[in-house]
Amino acid sequence: MTGLNRRHLLTGTAAIGAAAALAPLWPTRATAAVPAAGAQAPGFYRYKVGSFECTSINDGVATFPMPDAFVTNVSKTEALAAAQAAYMPDGMVRVPFNPQLINTGSKLVLIDAGNGAAAFEPSKGAVGRTLQNLAAAGVDPKTIDAVVISHLHPDHTNGIRAADGSLAFPNAEIMVPAKDWEFWMSDANAAKAESNPMLKGYFANVRKVYAGIESKVTRYDWGKEVAPGITAVAAPGHTPGHTAFAVASGASKVLLQSDVTNIPEFFLRNPDWHVVFDIDPDMAQATRHKFYDMAAAEKATVVGFHFSFPSIGHVEKDGAGYRLVPVTWTPVL
């Protein structure tokens, strides 16, 4: 155990000094230094659900200074402590985004579309990567049959537009929750939101993103399939029409939770914390408990839009809250 002390483990300085005084252990090689790659691996990951082939697509990770009221019902100090406990960069909060692609064998369905090219100025380049990661996965966006939006927040819906404003998935039916469409397209609701800059922006965003394509949009209802084997599950509160999905094939099922929680480090561990984006935080909290109590009891596989890529795990009860157990990365399907 000669080397196992803090000096060697975490600074290595003594050892480095000692080695420098000796002949180097590494001889000079003929090979030239290899330049750094400078780029991350592509962000896609496949998993099977019965005969369905699913692909988790990373739209990226936003890292931004902790807003004053990111969690509306605890202090900023408490939120910062939770971020620090989750090893986020000092003073920052980090939010991943992960749409899911489902190939049912007859239909290619994208659940949520990510931030799109223009969003999240502070994290430019780190989000809006859905098209790039679909390409890395060998998926032509023209082959996608349906884009099913879980709710009409920008990070889920803006990716239906490419950088030039054209439709990113030109042959896809665009499906939105009927209750969310009704809520966000209501001029009366928009007028009420005038005093809240965030909400005002969201109302404007929905109108901008869907301008001119309203007739292409199909509105779906809870309790029905949006595609064969993919059932819309009511999960309201985050938004009035916020929807989770049960994906079932043969004896296998997974739950796409969408935004039942935002980041699990905050809202799975503390299910009674309210994220600033919730339209009805008390209802979102009730949905959260009901959803996770059920998922934990059933040992269901849960996919979270805001979980760390590949964003798949199991949820377990942990005291008054829950914990996420990520799946083991599997190299073969």
Q: Give yes or no for residue 23 binding its own copies (CB under 8 A).
A: no
Residues belonging to the chain: 333
DSSP character for 187?
A: H
Residue 52's nearest CA partner among 117, 102, 111 is 102
> How many Å apart are CA 90 and CA 6, to the nearest integer?
24
4 is an interface residue for its own copies by CB under 8 A: yes
Residue 268 binds to its own copies (criterion: CB under 8 A): no
Measured CA to CA, the distance from residue 277 to residue 36 in angstroms comes to 39
Q: Which stretch binds its own copies (CB under 8 A): 70-78, 192-200, 203-211, 288-296?
A: 288-296
- Residue of the chain from 222, 272, 280, 296 that contacts its own copies (CB under 8 A): 222
232 versus 268: smaller Cβ distance to its own copies: 232
Measured CA angle at 291 (ends 286, 294), to 5 deg = 125
Nearest-approach distance from CB 69 to its own copies, in angstroms: 23
With contacts defined by CB under 8 A, name the span among 54-62, 112-120, 159-167, 201-209 that binds its own copies: 54-62
Member of 49, 61, 268, 279 binding its own copies (CB under 8 A): 61
DSSP string, 127-162: B--HHHHHHHTT--GGG--EEE-SS--HHHHGGGB-
Report the nearest approach of its own copies to the CB of residue 253 (Å).
Answer: 6
Say whether residue 10 binds its own copies (CB under 8 A).
Answer: yes
Q: Minimum distance from CB of 294 to its own copies (Å)?
A: 6
Report 74-113 residues binding its own copies (CB under 8 A).
86-88, 94, 96, 103, 105-108
> Under the criterion CB under 8 A, does residue 192 sit at the interface with its own copies?
no
Give residues with Cβ within 8 angstroms of 283, minimum separation 6. Answer: 236, 237
Query: What distance in Å separates the CA atoms of residue 85 and residue 82, rounded to the nearest whole number?
Result: 5
Size of the site for its own copies (CB under 8 A): 108
Among residues 50, 74, 145, 182, the one that binds its own copies under rule CB under 8 A:
145
Of 226, 43, 256, 263, whose CA–CA distance to 131 is shortest? 43
Q: Does the protein bind its own copies through residue 213 (CB under 8 A)?
A: no
